C-alpha cells in the first residue's frame, strides 16, 4: 500500500532557529497519527510545510506517491489535504452554513447543489446543524472548534491535519470531540493530530511521534512511546536518574 503522506528529510530554518531538522516519516492511508512536543518544537511549522504555507529549505513532501513539494496551498487542498487551525479562523460576519459552503465550493470544487448537500451532511456530523444560520462570531469556543473541523471536512479531505483542536475545552466537550474525530477516522480519513491534551490524543491515535526543535525523537505505539525516558525528559520536563 502506498503511504498517503511521506516527509523525506525536511529542513526549515528561520535564522538560527530550526523548525524542521531532517524530519522524516510516513503515514499510511487510514492511519491516525499523534504529534506531541514542547512549545516551539516545530509542530505547527510541520503542518505549514505539509499544506504549502511554508516551503522547505530542503527535503521532499510526497502525497499519494507524488512529489508535491512545490504545489501551492490551493492545489494541495483540492488534492485532499485539509487542516484546522489552533486558533479558529472562521469568517465571523458569515453564517455557519456560509462558512462551510465556501470550503465545499472552493476547497472541494463542488457545484452549488452538491456543495450544499455536503455542508448539511457535515454540519450534522459535527453537531452544528442547529447553528447553521447563526453568525460564526456568535459561536462558543467549542462550536468554533467544531466549525473549524466542519470547514476542513467540507473540502472532502483524504488527509486531515488537526492543530490542538481540544485546547480550551472542558472535559465533557473534549470527550465529545474525541468521539467525532474517531468517527471521521473510522470513515477512512487519515489524520495527523497535534495536541497537548494527551489523554484525548491517546484515545484516538494508532501511533505517536515526538518532535523537539524540529527533529523526530520518538515514533511508535502511543502508550509505550509516552513511557520512554527520552519523551518524559523532553516533553514532560521530568529528569530521570539512572
Same domain, 25 and 128: no
- Higher-confidence residue: 170 or 52? 52
Beta carbons within 10 angstroms of residue 227's beta carbon: 10
197 Cβ contact partners less than 8 Å away, ≥ 6 residues apart? 166, 167, 169, 174
Q: How many CA atoms lie within 13 A of 163 on its CB side?
A: 20
Q: Looking at the structure, tell me whether residues 104 and 18 fall in a common domain.
A: no
CA angle 136-141-145, nearest 5°?
75
Does residue 149 share a domain with residue 176?
no
The answer to whether residues 150 and 213 belong to one domain is no
Phi, psi (rounded to 5 degrees) for 4: -75, -30
In a domain, 85, yes or no: no
Cell numbers representing residue 105 in the block: 465550493
**What is the per-residue pLDDT for 170?**
87
State the pTM of this model: 0.92
Expressed as residue numbers, the domain containing 175 is 1-80+157-242
Residue ending a domain, among 119, 138, 154, is 154
Per residue in 123-155, pLDDT tens? 999 999 999 999 999 999 889 989 999 999 999
201 in the same domain as 109: no
Tell me the Ramachandran region of residue 168: left when phi exceeds 0, alpha when psi lies from -120 to 50, beta otherwise: left
- For residue 72, the domain's CATH number is 3.40.50.300
Amino acid at each position: 500500500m502506498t503511504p498517503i503522506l511521506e516527509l523525506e528529510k525536511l529542513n526549515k530554518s528561520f535564522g538560527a532557529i530550526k523548525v524542521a531538522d531532517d524530519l522524516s516519516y510516513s503515514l499510511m492511508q487510514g492511519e491516525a497519527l499523534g504529534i506531541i512536543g514542547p512549545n516551539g518544537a516545530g509542530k505547527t511549522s510541520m503542518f505549514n510545510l505539509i499544506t504549502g504555507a511554508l516551503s522547505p529549505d530542503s527535503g521532499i513532501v510526497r502525497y499519494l506517491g507524488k512529489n508535491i513539494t512545490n504545489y501551492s496551498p490551493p492545489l494541495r487542498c483540492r488534492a485532499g489535504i485539509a487542516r484546522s487551525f489552533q486558533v479558529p479562523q472562521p469568517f465571523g460576519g458569515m453564517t455557519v452554513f456560509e462558512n462551510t459552503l465556501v470550503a465545499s465550493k472552493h476547497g472541494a470544487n463542488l457545484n452549488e447543489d452538491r456543495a450544499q448537500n455536503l455542508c448539511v451532511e457535515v454540519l450534522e456530523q459535527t453537531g452544528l446543524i442547529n447553528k447553521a444560520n447563526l453568525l460564526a462570531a456568535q459561536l462558543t469556543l467549542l462550536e468554533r472548534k467544531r466549525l473549524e473541523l466542519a470547514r476542513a471536512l467540507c473540502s472532502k479531505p483524504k488527509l486531515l491535519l488537526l492543530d490542538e483542536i481540544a485546547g480550551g475545552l472542558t472535559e465533557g466537550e473534549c470527550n465529545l470531540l474525541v468521539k467525532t474525530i474517531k468517527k471521521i477516522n473510522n470513515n477512512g480519513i487519515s489524520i495527523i493530530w497535534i495536541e497537548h491534551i494527551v489523554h484525548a490524543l491517546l484515545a484516538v491515535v494508532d501511533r505517536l511521534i515526538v518532535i523537539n526543535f524540529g527533529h523526530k525523537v520518538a515514533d511508535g505505539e502511543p502508550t509505550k512511546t509516552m513511557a520512554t525516558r527520552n519523551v518524559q525528559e523532553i516533553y514532560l520536563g521530568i529528569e530521570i536518574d539512572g
